Structures are given as C-alpha cells and as structure tokens.
C-alpha cells in the first residue's frame, strides 16, 4: 500500500473548491506534487483518449512502448540456486509503469502506480496502455515479443480484460540478432554506440534494484526517476529502430496502409533481384538505403515455363 494521508486530504479540499495552489499551501506539499496527484486521479485517461485521437490517419498507427514490472517477493533460505514454491510467494509481480508514443508524434505518454491505493492492483494502470494497443496497427518494442507483450497479456486476462485489437509486432532485439553481430544486443549498449539524440537512461540517485525497491515503498522521488528512465527508453528505442530498420529484409511495407497510390520518389532502381522463379527490379531508398523489389516478374512467359522447381 502506498496511500498517503495527504492524498485523501487533498481530494477532500479539492471537492470543497480549493485550487491546487491552495491545497498545496494547506497540506504543506509543493504545488507540483499536488497537481501531479490530481492529474493522475482525473486527467490521465483523458490524455490517453486525446493521444489516441491525435494519430495521423494517413498510414498505419505505429506505437512504441515499454513497461516496467515490479519483482515478485518471496521467502527463501539462500541466495543462489533456489527453487521457490508457490506457497513461498509473498507478493506476485505486477506492472509498475509504462511509457508509449506514436511513431509520428512527439508526445510521450506515461503512467505509473505512485498514487494507486494498492500498488499491487494495476488494473487502472493497464486501461491506458490497453486503449493504445487496441488502436495500434503495429507496435515497436525491445524484447517485447518475449517479455512486454506476454506480461501485459497476462495482466489483462488476470483482470478479466478482453484482448486488444490485433496488431503486428516489430521487435528491435530480433532485428539486431538477425542482422548484426554486436558485442551486446542490450538497449543500453546499442543506443550508446549508435544513437546521437537519445540514449537509454542510466540510473541517477537510485541505482539498480534500489529504484524498484523505493518505488514499491511509495517514494515519489524514485517514481520521478522511473518516469525519466521509462520515457527515455522509448525515445532511444525509436531512434535505434530508425537506424536499424533499413537493414531488416522483413520490415513491413507501411505504404500499404495509405489510400493514395505510392509515388516512390525516394526509390531508385538498383539492378535486379532474383528468386527461384523470377527476376525483379531492385530499388534502393535514397534516404535510408533500404532495399525493396518490384512486383512484376521480368522473365518472359516462355522463360518462366521452362524453369524447373526443386522438390521439397
């Protein structure tokens, strides 16, 4: 539990018509603390609605997101090679915070459990990210196929929530593993070496596990650091995606989601590419260097009919 006495007092004063500044003066808190609390209680879900409505309609809705989870707390008798039984679990894991942004928007949205009456009850927290996922055509994550997506789904079903609308998943970690041989595929390493605008955050006052421990204790200063940490994760992730994406031969064609005919002005012919049954024009993007092939098989009908296929 992280409910504080001043939270209830602040809500009572607000109901009586006091301004945020007046509430802060009465209860001895800073105006920013009080306003952040009121924002969480009354404005957070409205902002999700506004961000959802602000999606650029011309093209796919691409969401970059990241979650942070609380650790399980359990009883054990040692520090190494432990088998934890179900009856040794004291508290289960839950979502502690999440950050998200639309690929073509500068707005970053963030929510956490700092003002939750029960920090272990993350249902209200999940409603915002569920709405964004429900709207998305694509999501971009780092290790999200193995972790974030499955963790969110587990909490959704735990709370009796329906699945969000289907979306396609682009996992930057899988691009890194498939196309490169970096010394490390961790977000911290890749953004440090490749990104120039945003790099994954390193912890400031609360190092390592202490950040999660202090958040669980309701330390609002720790939650402020968690917000910076979580939000910078997705900003650096988007920059990393844009750097690595041209190397991915399986990257989706976003233009399919646009109604108008593609003009392909950024694509120039660059030789040919061959399959076992065809020859196609190869195109290279003049800005990113990404390569694609044309749709028309350039081989004559007689040539195509003369080809033999492998037996598989």
Classify residue 4: in a domain, yes or no.
yes
**Residue 29 within a domain:** yes
Provide the β-strand partners of residue 282.
293
Residue 252 lies in a domain: no
Residue 21 and residue 153 in one domain? no
Q: Which domain holds residue 30?
A: 1-53
Assess if residue 312 is contained within a domain: no
Distance CA 266, CA 76 (A): 60
Please answer whether residues 133 and 48 qualify as being in contact, where contact means their C-beta atoms are separated by less than 8 angstroms.
Answer: no
The yes-or-no verdict on residue 142 having pLDDT over 60 is yes
Place of tokens 């749709």: 295
Residue 158 lies in a domain: yes
Share of the chain above pLDDT 90, in %: 71
271 plus 215 within the same structural domain: no
91 bridge partner residues: 73
Distance of alpha carbon 292 from its chain centroid, rounded? 27
57 token code pair? 């309609």
- CATH number for the domain including 115? 3.30.420.10
Q: Is 149 inside a domain boundary?
A: yes
pLDDT in tens, 89-117: 999 999 999 999 999 888 899 999 998 98
Do 177 and 68 lie in a common domain? yes
Does residue 257 lie in a domain region?
Answer: no
69 and 47 fall within a common domain: no
Query: Where residue 151 falls among pLDDT bands split at 50, 70, 90?
Result: very high
Contact of 108 with 234, CB cutoff 8 Å: yes
Establish if 256 belongs to a structural domain.
no
Number of domains in the chain: 3
Q: Is the pTM of the predicted complex or chain greater than 0.85?
A: no
Residue 252 neighbours by CB distance under 10 Å = 15
Residue 284 has pLDDT above 70, yes or no: yes
Report, as an integer, the average pLDDT of 133-147.
Answer: 97
């Amino acid at each position: 539990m992280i409910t504080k006495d001043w939270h209830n007092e602040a809500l009572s004063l607000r109901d009586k018509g006091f301004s945020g500044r007046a509430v802060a003066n009465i209860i001895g808190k800073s105006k920013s603390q009080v306003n952040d609390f009121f924002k969480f209680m009354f404005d957070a879900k409205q902002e999700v609605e506004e961000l959802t409505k602000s999606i650029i309609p011309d093209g796919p809705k691409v969401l970059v997101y990241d979650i942070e989870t609380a650790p399980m707390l359990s009883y054990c008798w040692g520090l190494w090679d432990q088998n934890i039984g179900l009856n040794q679990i004291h508290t289960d894991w839950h979502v502690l915070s999440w950050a998200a942004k639309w690929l073509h928007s500068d707005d970053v949205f963030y929510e956490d459990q700092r003002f939750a009456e029960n920090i272990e009850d993350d249902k209200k927290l999940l409603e915002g990210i569920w709405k964004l996922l429900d709207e998305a055509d694509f999501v971009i994550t780092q290790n999200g196929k193995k972790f974030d997506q499955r963790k969110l789904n587990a909490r959704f079903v735990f709370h009796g929530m329906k699945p969000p609308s289907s979306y396609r998943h682009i996992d930057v970690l899988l691009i890194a593993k498939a196309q490169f041989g970096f010394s490390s595929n961790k977000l911290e390493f890749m953004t440090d070496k490749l990104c120039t605008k945003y790099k994954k955050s390193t912890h400031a006052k609360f190092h390592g596990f202490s950040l999660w421990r202090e958040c669980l204790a309701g330390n609002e200063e720790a939650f402020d650091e968690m917000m910076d940490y979580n939000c910078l994760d997705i900003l650096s992730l988007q920059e990393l995606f844009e750097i690595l994406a041209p190397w991915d031969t399986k990257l989706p064609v976003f233009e399919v989601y646009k109604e108008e005919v593609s003009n392909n002005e950024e694509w120039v012919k660059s030789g040919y590419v061959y399959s076992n049954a065809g020859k196609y024009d190869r195109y290279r993007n003049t800005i990113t260097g990404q390569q694609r092939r044309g749709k028309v098989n350039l081989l004559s009908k007689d040539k195509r009919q003369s080809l033999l296929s492998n037996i598989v």
